[in-house]
Amino acid sequence: MKSLELFAGGGGLGLGLGLAGFHPERVVEWDRWCCDTIRSNKKNGYPLVQQWEVFEGNIQNFSFKEIEEELDLISGGPPCQPFSLGGKHRGNLDRRDMFPVAIEAVRSLKPRAFVFENVKGITRTSFANYFQYIQLQLAYPQEAKREGETWIRHLERLEEIETRGGYSGLSYNVVARVLNAADYGVPQRRERVFVVGFRNDQMIEWSFPVPTHSKDVLVFDQWGSGEYWERHKVPKKLIPECTLTARILHSVCDRSFWDLKPWKTVRDALNGLPHPRDTRRRREFFDHTYQPGARVYPGHTGSSLDLPAKTLKAGDHGVPGGENMLVNPDGSVRYFTVRESARLQTFPDGYRFHGSWTETMRQLGNAVPVKLAQAIGTSIATKLLEAKELRQMSH
Q: What is the pLDDT of residues 308-325, one digit of tens each?
A: 999 998 865 445 455 789
Query: CA nearest 375: which of 209, 255, 236?
Result: 209
Q: Residue 131 pLDDT more than 60?
A: yes
Report pLDDT for 83: 47
Q: Residue 245 pLDDT more than 60?
A: no
Number of H helices, E strands in the chain: 12, 12
d(CA 154, CA 157): 5
Percent with pLDDT over 70 in the chain: 88
Count other Cβ atoms within 10 Å, centred on residue 25. 17
Report pLDDT for 88: 43
d(CA 263, CA 215): 5
Query: Can you tell me the mean pLDDT for 109-133?
Result: 93
Q: Residue 251 pLDDT more than 60?
A: no
Query: CA nearest 345: which of 317, 374, 322?
Result: 374
d(CA 251, CA 245): 10
d(CA 326, CA 344): 11
d(CA 312, CA 191): 11
β-pairing, 23-29 vs 2-6, is parallel
d(CA 1, CA 106): 17
Residue 106's identity, in one-letter code, is: V
- Listed range (23-27, 84-88, 141-145) with the worst mean pLDDT: 84-88
Query: CA nearest 306: which of 346, 262, 246, 266?
Result: 266
Please give the backbone phi and psi of residue 390, each rounded to the nearest 5 degrees, phi first: -65, -40
Highest mean pLDDT out of 12-16, 78-82, 89-93: 12-16
User: Angle at which helices 370-394 and 12-19 pack, to 10 degrees?
Assistant: 40
Q: Residue 50 pLDDT more than 90?
A: yes
Buried b (16+ CB within 10 A) or exposed e, 142-170: ebebeeeeeeeebbebbeebeeeeeeeeb
Report pLDDT for 238: 41
Q: Residue 80 pLDDT more than 70?
A: no
Q: Is residue 23 helix, strand or coil? A: strand
Q: How confident is the model at residue 280 (pLDDT cuts 50, 70, 90)?
A: confident
Length of the chain: 395
Query: CA nearest 117: which of 226, 185, 52, 190?
Result: 190
- How does the average pLDDT of the chain come out, rounded? 88
DSSP code for 21:
T
Q: Residue 372 pLDDT more than 60?
A: yes
Mind listing the pLDDT tens digit for each residue in 192-230?
A: 999 999 999 999 999 999 999 999 999 988 888 889 998
Q: Where are the beta strands (DSSP E) in the chain?
A: 2-6, 23-29, 54-56, 73-76, 113-119, 172-180, 191-199, 213-214, 261-262, 303-304, 325-327, 333-335
Q: Residue 287 pLDDT more than 80?
A: yes
d(CA 8, CA 140): 24
Cα radius of gyration (the chain): 22
Query: CA nearest 17: which of 366, 348, 385, 381?
Result: 381
CA angle 340, 282, 343 (to 5 degrees): 15
